[in-house]
Amino acid sequence: MLHLRLICPPSRTDEALSVLEECLGVTNIVVLPGAAREPAGDLIFCDTARESANEALSRLKWLEDEGSIAIEHIDLSLSRVAEEAVEEAPGDPDDAVVWEELSQRVHNDSRITWAYLAFLAIATQLAGIGALQNSPILIVGAMVLGPEFGAVAAICFGLLLRRWHLVIEALRTLFIGFTVAIAITFACALVSHWLGWIDITNLDINDEVKFIVKPDRWSFIVALLAGVAGVLSITSGKSSALIGVFISVTTVPAAGYLAVALAVGDWAEVAGPVWQLAVNIFGMVLAGTVTLLIQRRVWPQVGRHSSD
């Protein structure tokens, strides 16, 4: 379930309460008249099933300008009325997408931050070292560390709702992020090459890690499956599944290998990782957008139109 905290102008408190009482799956409604100071107003608490959140939020959207809405996830609820509210709401909580929550998440993930650049640069360097050492363990570690799927999900969401500014911002984040990560890895690999730590013969990778630079039909299929799984994991709240998505796609390993190949001047090896990177991102965007479309139009949920 979700816990809602509303700050409402006293003149519209009855209207807000009426909305909450009419929505299936909303319970534990508490009103504290005049308790809020900034912004001033009445304080309203309630719990709602995930399936009901979209309807309530869409009908209370005016509170964004006139008051405040905050949402928290409830980890444990020991309440008979809460259980009845979940049963009363149509659908299943794991299938429900809270579109306002997803909108805020992808907007945050579409921004370039120092943490994003740092994680992507470190992951790309680990991938480059993994390719040089023929180490699947290092490559898998780099895949888990890479933060790029957030921007991919933002592109999917932007395409679904035709929010082109979000698509452009997320594409910019991906482009700048990978450019910076590859540049840093290239510089480190170049210095290592000058020191004699690596040479062109180091790029003779074995079959266990060759998948990161040899894109084929399976690379595209894996990217499609990863795009579906990734979107499902961030919309259903099962975030643990997202780790499996990171391990499935080879965007970061391809970027790491590309940087090393450029550093040692092995131009014949440059095209492979570039195509691998492009295939993975395109496949995830395509599958992720289709998955969101299905969730919005087909899967049973309350208030599917709320985030327009």
pLDDT value for 237: 59
Looking up tokens 């079959």 gives 207
Following DSSP, what letter does each residue of 43-76 receive, concatenated? EEEEEE-HHHHHHHHHHTTTHHHHSEEEEEE-S-
Which token pair is 180? 């910076």
Q: Do domains 2-92 and 102-297 have the same CATH topology?
A: no
Q: How far apart are CA 289 and CA 233, in angstroms?
A: 14
If one looks up domain 2-92 in CATH, what number appears? 3.30.70.120
* Residue 302 pLDDT > 60: no
- The candidate with the shortest Cα–Cα distance to 301, out of 90, 101, 94, is 90
DSSP code of 37?
E
pLDDT value for 208: 63
Q: CATH: 3.40.50, 1.20.1080, 3.30.450, 1.20.1440. Which one for 102-297?
A: 1.20.1080
Q: Where are the domains of the chain?
A: 2-92, 102-297
Q: How far apart are CA 55 and CA 19, in angstroms?
A: 9
Residues forming a β-bridge with 44: 6, 31
Q: What is the pLDDT of residues 210-235, one digit of tens each?
A: 677 777 888 899 899 989 988 888 88
Look up the pTM and report it.
Answer: 0.83
Q: Which residue has the higher pLDDT, 152 or 308?
A: 152
19-33, 51-65, 88-102, 140-154: range with lowest mean pLDDT: 88-102
Q: Which residue has the higher pLDDT, 135 or 300?
A: 135
Angle at 259 between CA 257 and CA 176, to 5 degrees: 115
- The candidate with the shortest Cα–Cα distance to 284, out of 245, 227, 222, is 227
